[in-house]
Amino acid sequence: MKSASPIAGQHFYVSGAGSGIGRVITLELAARGAKVSAIDINTQAINELASNDSTSKDSIYPITADFTNDDSIIQSVHQAEKHFGPLHGLVNCVGILGKNGMKIEDLEIDDFDFVYRVNLRSAVVLTKAVIAGMAARKYGRILHLASISGKEGNPFLVAYSATKAGIIAMVKSVGKEYPDSGVTINAMAPALIESPMSASFSEAQMTLLKSRIPMGRLGKPEEVANLAAWIVSPECSFTTGFTFDLSGGRATY
């Protein structure tokens, strides 16, 4: 019989921990016995998350960071490692839709740049900040939240879709740079998941996106968290550069 959690005692950095998917992943990792540095721009949300954690006291350490600022990202990694020690894993859940609902001809390039900074540039900065240390220690698990939008492109979501496609390509490239290092880097591409982000869609967008999911429902953050917890565990050891599907049958590739 197998009962011990393979990530018990390990240290994870979870960004976007203040809401939705990142919040549930933080709680799931802590429930499995991990120490979690919980990063977000929303200080109040992560402080509440840490103080209300009943599953495992002192397991969640809140750190405020702004992912539009490179130094802030790098400092958050230092702060996390100073508190709980070297990182075993990272789950990057920071992401924004940005202004959306219009065709590209009406897209403001400054708005595109902002989505790029939050969604893609930060993912590169964060990966750079952790991967050399992980490779030197010969172990690490990096997981970035991409999206089905990055695989298929969704209309009226150009900035979001393009930056999520960038994450998928970044993970493929980096996976091939560190194949024998003990570090894996993967992405996950969910379709619509129940969260504050998906709740912000217009009714028309929601109907369109939901109609494309063969299972006919939104995914649950807990479903994302369970898959994420396995991907960042030692058990997921022969997969790197890959984008895991979580789309209720929408993407079968």
Q: Which is nearer to ligand NAD, 135 or 169 (CB)?
A: 169
Q: Which is nearer to ligand NAD, 59 or 147 (CB)?
A: 147
Answer for which of 59, 181, 184, 198 binds ligand NAD (CB under 6 A) is 198
139 belongs to the catalytic site: no
Which token pair is 50?
Answer: 């840490």
Answer for which of 28, 40, 53, 245 binds ligand NAD (CB under 6 A) is 40
Regarding 19 and contact with ligand NAD (CB under 6 A), the answer is: yes
**Neighbour-count burial of 222, counting CB atoms closer than 10 A to its CB (0-12 exposed, 13-18 middle, 19+ buried):** middle
For residues 252 and 176, give the distance between their C-alpha atoms in angstroms, rounded to a whole number: 23
Q: Helix crossing, 43-52 with 20-31: angle to 10°?
A: 30
Regarding 89 and contact with ligand NAD (CB under 6 A), the answer is: no
Contact range with ligand NAD by CB under 6 A, out of 37-45, 51-59, 81-89, 108-116: 37-45
Regarding 127 and contact with ligand NAD (CB under 6 A), the answer is: no
Please say whether the beta carbons of 192 and 174 come within 8 A: no
Please say whether the beta carbons of 100 and 154 come within 8 A: no
Answer for which of 7, 14, 20, 61 binds ligand NAD (CB under 6 A) is 20
3-state secondary structure of 115: helix
Q: Which is nearer to ligand NAD, 67 or 178 (CB)?
A: 67
Q: Which is nearer to ligand NAD, 166 or 190 (CB)?
A: 190
Question: DSSP secondary-structure letter at 101?
Answer: S
C-alpha distances out from residue 60 to 29, 34, 80, 91, Å: 10, 9, 10, 14
Answer for which of 38, 170, 192, 227 binds ligand NAD (CB under 6 A) is 192
Q: Which residues of 61-78 are buried (b: 16+ CB within 10 A; e: fewer)?
A: bbbbbbbeebebbbebbe
Number of residues that bind ligand NAD (CB under 6 A): 27
C-alpha distances out from residue 75 to 19, 78, 79, 86, 125, Å: 21, 5, 6, 14, 11
Answer for which of 27, 93, 170, 183 binds ligand NAD (CB under 6 A) is 93
Answer for which of 175, 190, 241, 248 binds ligand NAD (CB under 6 A) is 190
Regarding 67 and contact with ligand NAD (CB under 6 A), the answer is: yes
Regarding 245 and contact with ligand NAD (CB under 6 A), the answer is: no
Selecting among 139, 160, 178, 253, the annotated active-site residue is 160
Regarding 162 and contact with ligand NAD (CB under 6 A), the answer is: no
- DSSP states of 207-250: HHHHHT-TT-S-B-HHHHHHHHHHHTSTT--S--S-EEEESTTS
Q: Which is nearer to ligand NAD, 130 or 193 (CB)?
A: 193
Q: Considering only CA atoms, which of 150, 131, 241, 141 is closest in space to residue 189?
A: 150
Q: Which residues bind ligand NAD (CB under 6 A)?
A: 16, 18-22, 40-42, 65-68, 93-96, 118, 145, 147, 190, 192-193, 195-198
The catalytic residues are 160
